[in-house]
Structure 1
Amino acid sequence: MKPEELDALIAGNVRAARARLRLRQEDLADEIGWSRPTVSSLEAGTRRITVSDAVALCRALKLTLPELLRGAPAEVFEALGVTPA
């Protein structure tokens, strides 16, 4: 999986989780300490996240890392040493 494809997959999972929780981009940004444009660029798939970003997103969106990566191929989970959700 190309990095851009993984970025897009994470973006979709973040959007879906935020919608499930009925959070606005502003709400998520406030929870994490980001700006709304930063959340917007993440959800557009144009912002790559760090491990610390993933932790903050999982906490704010009440997700596990495998849930954040839902839809990724097995090789991604194997590389991280986690079991898919």
Structure 2
Amino acid sequence: MRDVEAEALDELIAGNVRAARARLRISQQDLADDMGWTRTMVSSLESKSRHIRTGDLVLLCQALKMPLAELLDGAPAEVFKALGLDRRKKP
């Protein structure tokens, strides 16, 4: 797990958040409103200038209506193992 860098995970999650917003056709402001954030906070997360905390992950999963495993899609297997998540997508 030491090989997994937090910055790389932040970048991965930021990209997955952008993709989820596009798929849901919601703006940064819409996501911010759902999370109780400002649009600037969402923009900072997506541009990787805001580190993602555990609480952020919960809010993102709720607002984007997606499980954590999907938000982490593309992460190394050791991330899923450490979190006790199944990286396979549900049909």
Residue 24 of structure 1: aligned partner: 27
Give the structure-1-normalised TM-score.
0.95
Residue 54 of structure 1: aligned partner: 57
1:35 CA displacement? 0.6
The amino acid across from 1:29 in the alignment is A
- Runs of 5+ unmatched residues, structure 2: none
Residue 75 of structure 1: aligned partner: 78
- Separation in structure 2 between the aligned mates of residue 45 and residue 11 of structure 1, nearest angstrom: 7
The amino acid across from 2:61 in the alignment is C
The runs of at least 4 aligned residues of structure 1 exceeding 2 Å deviation read none
Residue 7 of structure 1: aligned partner: 10
1:31 CA displacement? 0.5
Structure 2 residue aligned with 1:34, among 34, 37, 45?
37
1:68 CA displacement? 0.3
- Separation in structure 2 between the aligned mates of residue 80 and residue 27 of structure 1, nearest angstrom: 29
CA deviations 1:32-77 (Å, max 9, x no partner) are 0001110001011221222221111111111100000000000001
User: % of aligned pairs identical?
Assistant: 62
The amino acid across from 1:64 in the alignment is P
Aligned CA-pair RMSD: 0.9
Comparing 39-48 and 23-32, the one that deviates more:
39-48
- Separation in structure 1 between the aligned mates of residue 81 and residue 49 of structure 2, nearest angstrom: 25
- Please tell me whether Structure 1 or Structure 2 has the larger radius of gyration of its CA atoms: 2
